[in-house]
Amino acid sequence: MKHNYTLLQRITSDTPAFFKKVQVFGIGLAGLGGTLATIHGIPAGLTASLISAGSAIAAIAQFAVKLDETNTDEPCSTSDGDKPSPSETIQSTTN
């Protein structure tokens, strides 16, 4: 089940729910760092670290790809062995 996605495909593909939450956390962390940067007395290193970490977390979470179960490379196995499904049986008898 190996998928080779281009950068554009990764950015535009659907993101799993967990990584959407990670993105929101990263954006919030970067926003907190930006807000704290406006307050005098807060060390610049702390705010820069919060902004950098939050931005990196949000950007990396964007590259997670939600795998579509219908597009897997592995064949579908059934518990019945090689028996055809009922719809396949109906189609073969009507033809």
DSSP assignment of 10-55? HHHSPPPHHHHHHHHHHHHHHHHHHHHHTSTTS-HHHHHHHHHHHH
- Please tell me the predicted confidence (pLDDT) of residue 63: 87
How confident is the prediction for the chain on average, in pLDDT?
A: 80
Instruction: Please indicate whether residue 76 or residue 37 has the higher confidence score (pLDDT).
Output: 37
- Please tell me the predicted confidence (pLDDT) of residue 84: 57
What is the mean predicted confidence (pLDDT) over 17-34? 95
